[in-house]
């Protein structure tokens, strides 16, 4: 009985020490040139940019943070979140790459946002996604604390329909 030869782990060593998979993407020539300027290896350039913008494993940005906008006043800014986008009425307004203002329609009670966040935390899909769960929990805790200590107010922003 002939044995099949054992496969060796030949070939190139892995570029990254974490789980990975190949993807195919079409990019504009301009973007390819920019990536080449960052790193001749496109995959490494994409990872470097993603880590710089979204924080990567270093968590450069917090999932939820308060950003000063005036003396004694701050805005709630969050990172990207599929779960937050699915909450009816809540809108995320991108103010910088991967940084969003949290907005709710005029007349919406802050308590209703807390309830929606609490409900979303019980969603099985969210419970299995550490990042999404962390964002929702942090935001719910922040809003709840600020509301209970009466340190939260709402203001309207002007939005222009540019269609």
Are the beta carbons of 56 and 38 closer than 8 angstroms?
no
Residues 36, 69: Cα–Cα separation, whole Å: 37
Judge contact between 81 and 155, C-beta under 8 A.
no
- pLDDT band with cut points at 50, 70 and 90 for residue 96: confident
Is residue 59 pLDDT above 60, yes or no? Answer: no
* DSSP result, 44-100: HHHHHHHHHHH-GGGT-S-SEEEEEEETTEEEEEE---HHHHTSTT-EEEEEETTEE
Average pLDDT for the chain: 87
User: What's the rounded Cα separation, in Å, for the pair 119 and 36?
Assistant: 45
Whole-number Cα distances in Å, 151 to 7, 66, 92, 106, 112: 63, 13, 22, 19, 17
What are the structural domain ranges in the chain? Answer: 29-58, 64-148
What percent of the residues of the chain are helix, what percent strand, and what percent coil, each to the nearest 5? 40, 15, 45
Tell me, yes or no, if the pTM score tops 0.75.
no
pLDDT in tens, 114-152: 999 999 999 888 888 888 999 999 999 999 999 999 999
């Amino acid at each position: 009985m002939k044995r099949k030869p054992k496969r060796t782990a030949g070939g190139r060593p892995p570029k990254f020490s974490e789980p990975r998979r190949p993807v195919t993407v079409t990019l504009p020539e301009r973007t390819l040139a920019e990536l080449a300027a960052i790193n001749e290896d496109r995959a490494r350039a994409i990872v470097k940019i993603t880590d710089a913008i979204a924080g990567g494993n270093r968590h450069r940005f917090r999932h939820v943070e308060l950003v000063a906008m005036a003396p004694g006043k701050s805005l709630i800014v969050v990172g990207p979140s599929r779960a937050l986008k699915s909450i009816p009425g809540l809108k995320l307004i991108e103010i910088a790459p991967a940084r969003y203002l949290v907005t709710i329609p005029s007349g919406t009670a802050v308590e209703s946002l807390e309830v929606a966040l609490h409900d979303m935390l019980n969603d099985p899909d969210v419970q299995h996604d550490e990042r999404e769960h962390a964002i929702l929990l942090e935001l719910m805790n922040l809003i709840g604390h600020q509301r209970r200590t009466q340190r939260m107010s709402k203001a309207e922003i002007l939005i222009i329909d540019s269609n």
